[in-house]
Structures are given as structure tokens and as C-alpha cells.
């Protein structure tokens, strides 16, 4: 049964007059009567009781009218939902992010996007950079906020910002005599760092820079948790490093100091699959330049 027959029937049921119904449908009355007769034949029931003076719904016609209205309403809802999805106003988006993202661009970005598109379902997953790259390539997330450089195979990258690192030291540490600590001063100092498997580029960069200054870094502990690393520093076990944007989170039991002429930076970017062109992603990416202008 074609939907147009339901629309014909509902219009006649609402008007209870073939002439007025035909006018609303912009068709002739004989053509409309023929369509309704065909519908009744297909159903095998009489939908309308007709006389020369009136048109009334039969009992089966009343039942069919209620059901037909629901069907047409659902179809109209489906059409509107589909159109909103095509505009990026409906649907879902799976987003991966590093812990650093929660202290920089991500809160503003998500808030602005949800203000514009409150009906898009966002699934947020905290993942390290390497895990995000894998999740993107395996289509487990749609958008990532991570730290380049990465394996960009099949991915697009949108650079967002770049930050310096600072050293996190226990109170009364002898390196606090520097306002900017030279990298050579970390020779023989115990270091507490982010695990290599969670960020191999930064980890290897630290090793290489230390070697350029003539020493092998003394890494005594690795932890993905910022809180754990800060706790170990406060206990006097070693020195750690954080990006500038999170130094306000380290608390008062430790002290941050800038690094002198450190070439290692924490880069931050958005990444997504080149083949993924969903409207929800495109609308989310459209918010990025607005947020970027607020943080530079």
C-alpha cells in the first residue's frame, strides 16, 4: 500500500466531504473517489458510509483512521529526523581525548557544540594518544584529541596548540635556585615520567635531548597518572614534568619551574579518519576555529 493512499484517506476522514478533500489534495473529486474506492477494495472493508448528503466513517474506517494518522505522523517524524541528521543536528559522535584535553580546549568545545546541537549524542572516552590512533583506524571512535606526531595513515590532523613543559620539583629542592632550569642540570637527577607506551614520541625525545647534553636520564618511575607523579615528587622521590596548561593542578606541595631552551613541546591536535564524513563530525569541526581563536 502506498503512503499517498493513506494521505488521501486521512484527508477525506478529516473533511468528511470529498469535494473539500479533493481541493486540499489539489486533485479532482472523481479521481479522489476512485482512489478511496480502490483502497477499500484492497482492504476488503468499507471505510466510509456515503449518501447524497453526507459522508461518515464506518466503524472499521474509524479504526483505520486512527492507525493511518499514527503511520503518517511517524513517517513525517522520520523524514524530519533524517533531514536533521543530514544537517548534523541529530546522530552521535564518539570522541577520544587525552587528560590534557580536559584542561585546555575540550570543555569549551563540547559546551559550544552542545549549545548548537543538543540532540547529538556524544560518547567521550579518555584514551592516550597511541590508543586513540588505533581506535580511529579501527573505527571505534570518530574524532580524537591527541598529541602529534602520530602515524597519520588514513587520518586528517587539525593542529590546535603547542605548549612548553615545566619541571615539577619538591619544595626546597636545590634546582629551585634556577628561575629557568637548564636541561643539563637534570643529569643524575631521578626522574618520574609518563610511560613510553602512552607517548613514545615525547619519551624518546626526552632521552635524545638528555643524550645531546651528555647524559643518560635517570628514570626511576613511570606513571600515566598526573596525581601519582605529583605525589611521588612531593615525597621527594624524584622530579617530573607537566605541560604549562596543567601546572595549576599540581597543588601546593610541589613547585613548578620553567625549562631553559627546551626544544620539546607538547603539541595538541584533533584527528579523524579521512573517509569519515558524517555531518555530525563536520559540524563539530566547524566549531574548532571559534574555540582556537579564544585560546591563542
> What is the secondary structure of 207-223 as a DSSP string?
HHHHHHTT---EEEEE-
How many C-beta atoms lie closer than 10 Å to residue 98's C-beta? 23
Tell me: pLDDT of 241 over 60. yes
The half-sphere exposure of 152 on its side-chain side, counting CA atoms within 13 A, is 11
Range of the domain at 266: 91-296
- Domain end call among 86, 119, 137: 86
Element spanning 72, H or E = helix 59-86
Q: What is the CA radius of gyration of the chain?
A: 33
Whether residue 36 is found in the same domain as residue 181: no
Tell me: pLDDT of 291 over 80. no
- Domain end call among 86, 119, 141: 86
In the block, residue with C-alpha cell 624524584: 238
Whether residue 272 is found in the same domain as residue 198: yes
Position 287 confidence tier, pLDDT thresholds 50, 70, 90: confident
- Domain end call among 51, 86, 121: 86
186 contacts 217 by C-beta, under 8 angstroms = yes
Tell me: pLDDT of 254 over 50. yes
Whether residue 204 is found in the same domain as residue 243: yes
Mean pLDDT in the chain?
Answer: 88
The model scores a pTM over 0.75: no
The residue among 143, 150, 153 whose CA lies nearest residue 285 is 143
pLDDT at position 75 is 78
In the block, residue with C-alpha cell 461518515: 56
Whether residue 238 is found in the same domain as residue 141: yes
Amino acid at each position: 500500500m502506498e503512503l499517498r493512499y493513506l494521505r488521501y484517506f486521512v484527508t477525506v476522514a478529516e473533511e468528511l466531504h470529498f469535494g473539500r478533500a479533493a481541493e486540499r489534495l489539489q486533485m479532482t473529486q472523481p479521481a479522489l473517489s476512485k482512489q478511496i474506492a480502490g483502497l477499500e477494495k484492497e482492504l476488503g472493508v468499507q471505510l466510509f458510509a456515503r449518501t447524497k448528503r453526507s459522508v461518515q466513517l464506518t466503524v472499521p474506517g474509524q479504526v483505520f483512521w486512527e492507525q493511518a494518522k499514527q503511520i503518517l505522523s511517524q513517517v513525517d517524524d522520520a523524514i524530519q529526523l533524517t533531514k536533521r541528521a543530514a544537517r548534523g543536528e541529530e546522530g552521535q559522535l564518539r570522541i577520544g581525548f587525552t587528560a590534557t584535553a580536559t584542561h585546555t580546549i575540550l570543555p569549551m568545545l563540547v559546551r559550544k557544540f552542545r549549545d548548537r546541537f543538543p540532540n547529538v549524542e556524544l560518547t567521550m572516552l579518555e584514551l592516550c594518544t597511541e590508543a586513540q590512533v588505533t581506535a580511529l583506524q579501527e573505527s571505534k571512535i570518530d574524532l580524537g584529541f591527541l598529541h602529534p606526531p602520530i602515524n597519520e595513515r588514513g587520518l586528517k590532523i587539525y593542529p590546535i596548540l603547542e605548549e612548553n613543559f615545566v619541571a615539577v620539583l619538591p619544595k626546597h629542592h636545590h634546582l629551585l635556585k634556577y628561575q629557568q632550569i637548564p636541561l643539563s642540570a637534570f643529569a643524575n637527577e631521578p626522574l618520574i615520567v609518563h610511560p613510553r607506551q602512552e607517548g613514545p614520541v615525547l619519551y624518546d625525545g626526552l632521552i635524545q635531548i638528555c643524550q645531546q647534553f651528555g647524559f643518560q636520564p635517570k628514570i626511576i618511575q613511570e606513571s600515566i597518572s598526573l596525581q601519582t607523579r605529583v605525589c611521588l615528587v612531593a615525597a621527594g622521590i624524584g622530579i617530573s614534568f607537566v605541560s604549562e596548561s596543567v601546572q595549576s593542578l599540581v597543588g601546593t606541595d610541589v613547585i613548578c619551574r620553567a625549562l631553559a631552551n627546551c626544544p620539546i613541546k607538547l603539541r595538541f591536535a584533533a584527528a579523524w579518519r579521512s573517509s569519515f564524513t558524517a555531518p555530525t563530525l563536520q559540524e563539530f569541526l566547524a566549531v574548532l576555529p571559534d574555540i582556537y581563536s579564544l585560546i591563542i
